[in-house]
């Protein structure tokens, strides 16, 4: 069965970037041992990533090696192709979310990491997210880019697990509950 | 030392009431044993409650006995007095939050439960909340009345504890971190 999963950090008030678009606050909790708070384990759960153009370009702009060992599908109706240096790593996909998912599933990738603020919101709007793993950084930002947007109707989840990291960070795993 | 504390439930997306103002979803998780999820223990931490007129009138409208064993201070600049039936239980307070807190502290009440959406937002705006205990009901409402509002600047907390109730609900306790 295919599954679309989100693994993301927010402020207490649900923002993924502050009023200036900054994300420095994500690293405001001392982490001397470099605890990955479940990231590597989560990456083992998924077959591929799906992200929007903004997130892709942000990752490309980092002065680091390509960070993903699994295929990355980039949603964009404006990009015409992926830069050569990401050949074999990132793949452009176009169309409705259903068309895109069909295409990715047909390639054998079923467990997908859906990433990037507006991509997550678009998947949520179409009730296409099955798992939400939200790491809450204990800060109130009071404004910024919200993880959550308006939804046509409510969606029930079950919080199957809650963890506490670094003496100061909580992480909850929500699994979608099928409506009867 | 005086302390202002919040104990409240939100949806995953931070709402305290749904698009129609409803709160039925708060009781959407089966709770056969009537687990109070720390409410009685929290009530033992506080000396008095502070709430806005809306919350007070909502509590009064419930077809139940007065639910509080501690004094309730009602913030209102429009109410002229508290109905007779709540004499000795609820007390009207007026003025700025600092004036109101001075008045309540002078009566010997130092640990306060700050309740009600707009009252909490007003206290947060003035950086007057020390403890936030947030119980997250695993539902995305996609709209409604948000617990959180715009803040002039960010506020750092520490998540000192995270609990998991009823196999499906997470609760985090955030304590304010003094800025250096």
Domain residue spans of chain B: 3-15+36-176
Closest CA to A176 of A4, A43, A1, A42: A4
Using the structure block, give the residue that is written with the tokens 């949806």: B11
Shortest CA distance to B132 belongs to which of B6, B2, B45, B1? B6
**pLDDT at residue B179 is higher than 80:** no
Q: Tens of pLDDT along A9-61? A: 999 999 999 999 999 999 999 999 999 999 999 999 999 999 999 999 999 99
pLDDT at A179 over 80: no
Place of tokens 């997550």: A120
Residues of B near A (CB-CB distance < 8 A)?
11-14, 18, 25, 28, 124, 132, 134, 136, 138-143, 147-164, 167-170, 172, 174, 177
Confirm or reject CATH 3.40.430.10 for domain B3-15+36-176, answering yes or no: yes
| Nearest by CB: B142 against A151, A163, A174 | A151
Taken in order B69, B75, B78, B81, the sign of the CA dihedral is positive
- When CB atoms are compared, the residue of A25, A142, A155 closest to B151 is A142
Would you state the structure tokens that stand for residue B122, as one six-digit string? 């007003």
Class of domain A3-25+35-176: alpha beta
pLDDT tens for B40-74 read 999 999 999 999 999 999 999 988 889 999 999 99
Residue B77 confidence (pLDDT) above 90: no
A61-65, A160-164, B135-139: range with lowest mean pLDDT: A61-65
Task: Rounding to the nearest 10 degrees, give the CA dihedral for residues B133, B43, A156, B174.
Answer: 10
A79-99: average pLDDT: 94
Q: Is A43 helix (H, G, I), strand (E, B) or coil?
A: helix
**A122 CA: distance to closest CA in chain B (Å):** 12
**pLDDT above 90 (res B103):** yes
């Amino acid at each position: 069965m295919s599954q679309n999963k989100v693994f993301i950090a927010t402020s207490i008030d649900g923002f993924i970037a502050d009023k200036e678009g900054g994300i420095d606050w994500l690293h405001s909790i001392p982490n001397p041992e470099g605890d990955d708070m479940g990231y590597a384990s989560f990456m083992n759960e998924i077959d591929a990533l799906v992200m929007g153009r903004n997130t892709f370009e942000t990752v490309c702009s980092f002065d680091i090696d390509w960070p993903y060992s699994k295929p990355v599908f980039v949603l964009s109706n404006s990009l015409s192709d992926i830069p050569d240096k990401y050949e074999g790593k990132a793949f452009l996909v176009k169309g409705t979310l259903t068309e895109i998912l069909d295409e990715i599933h047909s390639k054998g990738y079923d467990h997908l990491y859906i990433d990037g603020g507006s991509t997550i919101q678009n998947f949520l709007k179409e009730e296409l997210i099955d798992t939400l793993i939200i790491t809450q950084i204990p800060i109130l930002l009071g404004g910024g880019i919200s993880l959550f947007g308006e939804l046509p109707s409510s969606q029930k989840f079950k919080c199957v697990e809650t963890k506490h990291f670094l003496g100061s960070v909580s992480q909850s795993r929500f699994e979608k509950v099928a409506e009867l």
